[in-house]
Amino acid sequence: MRIRLLWLLLGILALIAGACAPTTPAAPGATATPAAAQPQEIVLGLSLSTLNNPFFVTLKEGAEKAAAQYGVRLIVVDAQDDPAKEAANIEDLIQKKVSALLINPTDTKAVVPSIQKANQAGIPVFTVDRAAEGGEIVSHIASDNVAGGRMAAEFLCKALNGKGKVVELEGIPGTSAARDRGKGFNDYLKEQCPGLEVIARQPADFNRAKGLQVFENILQAQPQIDGVFAHNDEMVLGAIQAAEAAGRTGIIFVGFDAIDDAVKAVKDGKLAATVAQQPAEMGRLAVEMAVKYLRGEKVEKFIPVPLSLVTKETVK
Amino acid sequence: MGEPLLRAEGISKAFPGVQALDRVTLEIFPGEIHGLVGENGAGKSTLIRILAGAIPRDAGRIFWQGQPVEIADPRHARRLGIAVIHQELSLLPNLTVAQNLLLGREPRTRWGLLDRRAMEQQAWRILHELGLDLDPQAPVGSLPFAQRQMLEIARALSENARLLIMDEPTSALSDREIHRLFELLRDLKARGVAVLFISHRLEEIFQIADRITILRDGHHIGTFPITEVTPSAVVRMMVGREMSEMFVKTATAGTEAILEVRDLTREGVFYGVSFEIRRGEIVGLAGLVGAGRTEVARALFGLDPVDRGEIRIEGKAVRIRSPLDAIRLGMALIPEDRKAQALFLSMALRSNITIAALPRIAPLGLLSGRRLDAASQPCIRHLDIRPPRPGIPVRHLSGGNQQKAVIARWLLLQPRILIMDEPTRGIDVAAKAEIHALMDRLAREGKAILMISSELPEILGISDRILVMREGRIVGELKREEATADRVLALAMGGLHARAA
Amino acid sequence: MRGLRDFLGRWSGGLVLLALWLALTLMTPRFLTPSNLLNVALQSSILAVVALGMTLTIISGGIDLSVGSVVAFTGALTAGLMVRNSWPVGGAILVGLAAGLAMGLLNGALVIYGRLVPFIATLSTMAIARGLTLVYTRGYPISGLPEAFTFLGTGDVLGIPMPVLVMMAVAAGISLLLNHTPWGLHLYAVGGGEDLAWLSGVRVKRIKGLVYGMSGLLAGLGGILLTARLWSAQPNVGIGLELEAIAASVLGGASLSGGYGSVRGTLVGALVMGTVGNGLNLLEVPSYHQQIIKGLIFILAVGLDQLLKTGPLSARSIPMRRRGAS
């Protein structure tokens, strides 16, 4: 009985080993030729907050593709959203003496001691998507929310032929996302599209229910609304619901984030557009910046990652 | 003889449906080895448990060294100096010999820490005094049973026990180990320690005891100096019950052997067991507790492996390696402890009855209360289970009706061979008669029945033939006509009577 | 043969650890370096502290599922007192430890007086402590800790990281308690058989209560160390830590049915856990695969332990309780 169980276990183990095989070719070559043999070889360590979220999986894939292009080695570790595990992972990468660390922190503060450790070990650190509140960072690579706001404004402007009354639903006041997205949106309107008038601007806290409620009130107050920009998709979806319930048509809605529900709404024609982050591009840029820096080129403190617009024409 | 160490007077104890003890009196003197005998169910265990403080008594008084005492719990009994050495020993297997010996009174250093050296020295001294050659550092879990028993005695004595109550202490010991145990007991006796010695083996009692007390059906039959009684007189006093329960036997055995067992052996448990059971025959398997009867039943049913031997069913040699094999071959085992081993107490009667036959009742794996009712109702009627409600949880049934539920479950599978281990244990008289009538009916229907029973009247009343086991062997076979209580008991106890058959 | 088996049984955890180290040394030059070994010790240290408390409850025949949440709660409380209420470091630490102790004693009371199965009692306090943490922190991390405090997590003395030093001190203390005090012996007795221990005059209830108190206290210490290590109290740390602590204890030879377990074993168990995590990272095993391999290593390690302890691969008879067999 027990012997049989043992065989079963060994069988499973063999199976797993087999399953691992396609992913390991990089490792044997790497371990057989340690850094000493190839002093020029660049090894990047990428610490991700989680791999349980499609956004970060895509980010990782973008980084891997870029690493292959540049001919550098990329080691990916996953903190599973646990700051303690993140600390251990980064320590291990420091032990491996990676050439540079690309960190997507689980938390802006908890990552600081790990970054300082890397600083002490002389390993340059880049942060990705989420910033850190301390330590020396070569560069922060993240989506450009200001550009995203401009993108939304430009789209609305075109769709309304430069003239009309628009509403802005804001995110939680004080968050960087709300601030930057709003800034980009309003700056563009002021500079490029003065014909669009913002008739109402209210926070709805990134929340769908709040978005619905806030927009219901605005609908009551404003007999004419031509366009809506919300700082995220949740709020815009709430607003669409409110407009449908009130029987108001002809409003052009623009959201932000391209979450699944929003993409579906774009397909259905209810949502005109949503601004999408590009995690793959973020991963690619992170690797590119690290390689540039290691080859002695100068790298900006902040690398904005371009955003893209999902509309009925571009949606897959 | 001076003042008794312990005097228990007029002790009574009733359990639901049974008067386990009825005004029993027991006196034990310092330096005495006192034998306590009686059939199963005579009340020995109940008496021991009362003296050990494990259960309260209903009536009677207990005096310890002349003073009336209320023994509140086992710990109190130990403080008084009463130590019980049970069949299942009360040692902690994860601790060492020394730790077990001194648990609860460990020597400490000035700082309140364990003084491990002193501990080992004390342990060694205790063991040495009793002439026990045990390593104080050895983990108890690794010791053989006999050594653990010695260790337990040592611990009791080192706690200044004045009365050792030993429940069947020799049942798991070899002859040599028994010899050593007796030497130790005689040694203790010389030091004034009293021993209450419970054993089924009369020859041991006669070897070691000074006096003997006989219980029967909860009554105190008598206490005698060992020199004033003979083993056969003791047996008569133990059995001497009137055969009041009447068995009506209507089935007659056929000639065709359904089950044949040849030379079945499980090393260390039973040896060379051979017998056969014919169609419609009830064979009684008699013997003392520990004779190996249940073990034979377990082996037949595939619960324990056997080392040698052959089993044939209706002339065909078979291999039984698991209960599933046994069931497929048409065997059924009704175990002795129905609550622990057979019944799902919280489940409904219908589920209990049908659980082994579900594939037949629900071929597609889908069950419904209606289907279960339909399947179980004929059985309930057939066996007259009361109340005849399929939905009633089994724990609400009386012992007799619970037993019928177990039997019903197996009858649904239409077995050819029924093995019944103590089928009427813990069942009141009327229900017993019903179970017996049921067994008779099953035999008439052509089933072969092997019945293990410790109750002589049952064995004598219902069996066509009686096999008697002692120490793992079948030592005699008696036909119904030639069987008497004396002859069965003599065979079971061995060597005291002229060998019968 | 028996001697050898005893030896292997006692040291099987150590053998597994040695085998792991040997394998990793052969597979990567980065493993067997002083700085990486210190790194492994550091990564195992907080787990070890928590697992030692877990081991105590396991020896008693119980379990403490609340440790992960208690880690988060005490960490948040300690940090909050320093940051929000400007308490001195020492005072905050003392209150944090006391909170851990209190959570543990609550577990003990639920088990002893509430007659709850330890699994259920500590499962409930696990939820309660996590909820308290979220309420206290409002879901946000607490940071801005004084340096005297963060030294506990990221400082070192003579090159040895503080958490490792704390772990060694805790291990020495628990070892003294288990092996050299009557209390320790009584704890093993309780785990071997509560009723039998009670019969021998062991104060079963008091011991069980204290065991949970100690487990809570050590979880509290673990929470303080973790907060110091992360320079911030995170409301969602310690999720799943209880399972790692159980794994470390069992890898170290503790038996979930009680009566067995040791400081040395649990330290080895925690080191095995730390080594596996570190080794898989050094070998650059992809993170999804890491979890599968971890599971397999634990099965093999515990299986090996069982094999060495119980001996021959014999067919056992089907266990069916035998009472008063005839």
Contact (Cβ atoms closer than 8 angstroms) between residue C52 and residue C263: yes
For the four alpha carbons of C51, C55, C58 and C60, in that order, the dihedral sign comes to negative
B323/C188 CB distance under 8 A = no
C and B touching (3 or more beta-carbon pairs closer than 8 Å): yes
Summarize pLDDT for A283-299 with one digit per residue, the tens.
999 999 999 999 999 99
Strand order in the sheet with A139-143: A73-78, A43-48, A100-103, A125-128, A139-143, A302-305
Same domain for A152 and A74, yes or no, is: no
Handedness of CA C184, C188, C191, C194 (dihedral sign): negative
Give the sign of the dihedral formed by CA C122, CA C123, CA C129, CA C130: positive
* Integer CA distances (angstroms), A50 to A58, A104, C288, in order: 12, 9, 11
Residue A153 maps to a domain: yes
Do B202 and B131 fall into the same domain?
yes
The residue of chain A with its CA nearest to that of C145 is A109
In a domain, C192, yes or no: yes
Residue C10 counted as domain residue: no
Q: Looking at residue A297, what DSSP letter applies? A: -
Q: Which two tokens stand for residue B8?
A: 């228990």
Whether residue A315 lies inside any domain: the answer is no
A151 and A224 both lie in a single domain: yes
Question: Do B59 and B160 belong together in one domain?
Answer: yes
Domain span at C232: 15-308
Residue A270 lies in domain:
145-276
**CATH number assigned to the domain comprising residue B200:** 3.40.50.300
Q: What does the pLDDT look like over C244-267, one tens digit per residue?
A: 999 999 888 888 888 889 999 999
Q: Note the pLDDT of residue B241.
A: 53
Hey, are the CB atoms on A92 and C282 less than 8 Å from each other?
yes
pLDDT band at residue B368 using 50, 70 and 90 as cut-offs: confident
Is pLDDT at A174 greater than 80 in this prediction?
no
Amino acid at A86: E
A304 by DSSP, 3-state: which? strand
Report yes or no on A59 lying in a domain. Answer: yes
User: End of a domain among B414, B433, B457?
Assistant: B414
State the pLDDT confidence band at A25, using cuts at 50, 70 and 90.
Answer: very low
Query: Domains in chain B: how many in total?
Result: 3
Residues B96 and B200 in one domain: yes
Q: Is A127 helix (H, G, I), strand (E, B) or coil?
A: strand
Q: Give the number of beta-carbon pairs within 8 Å between A and C.
A: 110
CA distance B58 to B122: 41
pTM higher than 0.80, yes or no?
A: no
Are B426 and B410 found together in one domain?
Answer: no
pLDDT at A60 over 90: yes
Res. C202: pLDDT tops 50? yes
What is the amino acid identity at position A219?
L
**CATH number for the domain including C62?**
1.10.3470
Residue A241 belongs to a domain with what CATH number?
Answer: 3.40.50.2300
pLDDT of residue C293: 86
In a domain, A24, yes or no: no
Q: What is the pLDDT of residue A4?
A: 62
- Establish if A312 belongs to a structural domain: no
Q: Helix axis angle, C2-27 relative to C287-310, nearest 10°?
A: 160
Distance CA C268, CA C280 (A): 18
Query: Which residues on B lie below 8 Å from C180 (Cβ)?
Result: 113-114, 116
Does C321 reside within a domain? no
Q: What is the rounded average pLDDT of the residues B127-132?
A: 84
Residues of C in contact with A31 (CB under 8 A): 27-28, 283
Instruction: With a cut of 60, say whether residue A177 has pLDDT above it.
Output: yes
Q: Do C287 and A78 touch (CB under 8 A)?
A: yes
CB C246 within 8 A of CB C63: yes
pLDDT at B439 over 70: yes
The residues that bridge with A73 in the sheet, in sequence order, are A43
Residue C192 pLDDT more than 70?
Answer: yes
- Domain-located, residue C254: yes
**Of A53 and C177, the one with more pLDDT:** C177
| Greatest mean pLDDT range, B329-343, C61-75, C270-284 | C61-75
pLDDT in tens, B261-296: 999 999 888 999 999 999 999 999 998 877 889 899
pLDDT surpasses 60 at B90:
yes
Report the DSSP beta bridge partners of residue B83.
B164
- C314 secondary structure, DSSP code: P
Chain A partners within 8 Å of C286 (Cβ): 20, 23, 76
Give yes or no: residues B312 and B375 share one domain. no
CA distances from B216 to B21, B230, B233, B452 (A): 9, 17, 14, 21
Confidence of residue A32 (pLDDT cuts 50, 70, 90): very low
Other C-beta atoms lying within 10 Å of the C-beta of residue B70: 10
**Percentage of chain A with pLDDT > 70?**
87
Q: How far is B450 from chain C (nearest CA, A)?
A: 14
Q: Do A244 and A289 belong to one domain?
A: no
Q: Are residues A165 and A221 in the same domain?
A: yes
Q: What's the structural domain count of chain A?
A: 2
**Domains in chain C: how many in total?**
1
Share of chain B above pLDDT 70, in %: 95
Instruction: Classify A80 in phi/psi space as left (phi over 0), alpha (psi -120 to 50) or beta.
Output: left
pLDDT for A10 equals 61
Q: Residue B402's domain spans which residues?
A: 343-414
Cβ B94–C196 below 8 Å, yes or no?
no
Assess whether A260 and A163 both reside in one domain. yes
Same domain for B18 and B112? Answer: yes
A276 beta partners: A308
Q: Which of B322, B323, B341 sits opposite C321 (nearest CB)?
A: B341
Pick from B75, B287, B323: which is nearest to C326 by CB? B287
Instruction: DSSP letter for C319, please.
Output: P
Tell me which DSSP letter residue B292 carries. Answer: S
**Which of B92, B340, B452 is opposite residue C321, by nearest beta carbon?**
B340
Contact status, residue C216 vs residue C107, Cβ threshold 8 Å: yes
Look up residue A157 and give its amino acid: C
Of the candidates B373, B435, B365, B374, the residue with the CA atom closest to the CA atom of residue B399: B435
Contact B158, B145 (CB under 8 A): no
Does the distance separating the beta carbons of C315 and B305 come in below 8 Å? Answer: yes
| DSSP 8-class letter at C84 | T
> What are the C-alpha distances in Å from B468 to residues B238, B443, B493, B494?
18, 21, 10, 10
- Kindly state whether residue B1 falls inside one of the protein's structural domains: no
Q: Is the peptide bond before B387 cis (omega within 30 degrees of 0)?
A: yes
Asked if C326 and B454 come within 8 Å (Cβ–Cβ), the reply is: yes
Chains B, C: CB pairs < 8 Å: 97
By CA distance, what is C239's nearest residue in A? Answer: A82
Q: Which chains touch B (3 or more CB pairs under 8 A)?
A: C
Establish how many alpha carbons lie within 13 A of residue A16's alpha carbon, considering only the half-sphere containing its beta carbon. 18
Average pLDDT over residues A236-249: 92
What are the pLDDT digits (tens) for C275-301? Answer: 998 998 888 888 888 888 888 887 877
Three-state DSSP at C16 gives helix
In a domain, residue C313? The reply is no
Cα angle B52-B54-B60, degrees, rounded to a multiple of 5: 70
- The CA distance from C50 to B483, in Å, is 69
Tokens of A108: 């802006």
Structure tokens at C101: 């102790």
Q: Do B13 and B97 lie in a common domain? A: yes
The share of chain B scoring above pLDDT 90, in percent, equals: 33
| C264: in domain | yes
Across A199-213, B167-181, C77-91, least confident range: B167-181
Mean pLDDT of A3-30: 53
Query: Same domain, yes or no, for B203 and B269?
Result: no
Residues of A near C (Cβ–Cβ under 8 Å) read 1-3, 5-6, 9, 12-13, 16, 19-20, 23, 26-27, 30-31, 34, 51, 75-78, 81-84, 87-89, 91-93, 95-97, 107, 109-110, 112-113, 116-117, 133
What pLDDT does C148 receive?
92
Residues B87 and B199 in one domain: yes
Residue B172 is predicted with a pLDDT of: 72
| Span of A26-40, A141-155, C116-130 with lowest mean pLDDT | A26-40
Q: Are strands A100-103 and A43-48 parallel, antiparallel or unpaired?
A: parallel
CB nearest to C200's CB, from B104, B288, B454: B104
Q: Which residues of A touch C27 (CB under 8 A)?
A: 31
List residues of chain B with CB under 8 Å from any CB of chain C: 74-75, 78, 90-95, 99, 103-106, 108, 112-114, 116, 287-295, 298, 302-305, 322-323, 335-337, 340-341, 421-422, 452, 454
Mutate to test the interface with C, among B114, B288, B320 (most CBs of C within 10 A): B114
- What is the mean pLDDT of the segment spanning B421-441? 81
> Residue A253: is it exposed, middle or buried by C-beta count within 10 angstroms (0-12/13-18/19+)?
buried
Average confidence (pLDDT) over B110-130:
89
Report pLDDT for C294.
84
Burial letters B375-384, b for 16+ CB under 10 A, else e: bbeebbeebe
Distance, CA of B72 to CA of C200 (rounded, Å): 15
> Residue A19 pLDDT > 80, yes or no?
no
Strands (E), chain C: 142-143, 156-157, 160-161, 232-233
Pair B454, B408 in one domain:
no
Q: How many residues does chain B have?
A: 501
Chains B and A touch (3+ CB pairs under 8 A): no
Give B20's DSSP letter: E
Task: Give the model confidence (pLDDT) of B8-44 as tens digits.
Answer: 999 999 877 678 899 999 999 999 999 998 876 688 8
Nearest to B94 among C179, C259, C325 (CB): C259
Q: Examine the fold and report which residue of B213, B239, B265 is the final residue of a domain before the chain moves on.
A: B239
CB C202 within 8 A of CB B104: yes
One domain for residues B153 and B104: yes
Is position A72 within any domain? yes
Rounded to 5 degrees, φ, ψ at B334 are -105, 105
pLDDT of residue A238: 93
User: Is the residue at A20 inside a domain?
Assistant: no
Q: Is residue C5 part of a domain?
A: no
Integer Cα distance of A94 and A100 in angstroms? 9
CB–CB contact C143 A75 (8 Å): no
Q: How many other C-beta atoms can be found within 10 angstroms of the C-beta atom of residue A38? A: 10
**Considering the domain boundaries, does residue A87 fall inside one?**
yes
- A139, β-bridge pairs: A126
Q: Is residue B335 part of a domain?
A: no
CB-CB under 8 Å, A78 with C232: no
